[in-house]
């Protein structure tokens, strides 16, 4: 089972009687292998598309959360949206926190830290 030079898999042909395969048997076996190769490649493509779609959806959802948190911080602290984002980023990076996670806490009003505070030596609790 090959796609150009890439080996995808293998097909074994068995018979109930010990005898060499006929040309017809070989052709049928090759046809089966070709169909199986196409099916495997289609399944891989479908899985890849689903994975990419999930990644894009996650990125979009994270972006929405980040934008909402920027707006909240901008309003609360009288910042521009760019400055609000820089403030959040400056908070999460040295603490090795997830940007979207902290932004969700800001939106949910469960963020209990000081977003403008300088980082401590260790990571802040989440």
User: What is the set of domains in the chain, with CATH numbers?
Assistant: 2-108 (1.10.10.10)
Q: Which residue has the higher pLDDT, 116 or 95?
A: 95
**Residue 122 — very low, low, confident or very high, per pLDDT cuts 50/70/90?**
low
Q: How does pLDDT run across 15-68, given as a tens digit for each residue?
A: 888 888 889 988 999 999 999 999 999 999 999 999 999 999 999 999 999 999
Report the pLDDT averaged over residues 73-97: 94
H or E segment and range at residue 66 = helix 23-77
Tell whether the model's pLDDT for residue 124 goes beyond 70.
no
Distance CA 84, CA 70 (A): 5
The total number of residues written for the chain in this structure:
126
Report the pLDDT averaged over residues 9-20: 87
Instruction: Tell me how crowded residue 80 is: count the other CB atoms within 10 A of its CB.
Output: 10
Integer angstrom CA distances of residue 44 from 4, 54, 57, 74: 16, 15, 20, 45
Predicted pLDDT of residue 123: 52
């Amino acid at each position: 089972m090959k796609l150009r030079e890439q080996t995808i898999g293998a097909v074994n042909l068995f018979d109930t009687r010990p005898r060499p395969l006929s040309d017809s048997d070989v052709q049928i076996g090759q046809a089966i292998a070709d169909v199986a190769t196409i099916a495997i490649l289609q399944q891989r493509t479908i899985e890849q598309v689903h994975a990419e779609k999930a990644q894009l959806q996650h990125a979009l959802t994270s972006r929405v959360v980040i934008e909402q948190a920027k707006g909240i911080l901008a309003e609360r602290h009288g910042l521009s949206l760019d400055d609000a984002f820089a403030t959040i980023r400056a908070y999460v990076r040295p603490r090795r926190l997830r940007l979207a996670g902290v932004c969700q806490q800001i939106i949910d009003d469960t963020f209990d830290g000081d977003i403008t505070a300088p980082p401590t030596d260790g990571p802040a609790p989440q």
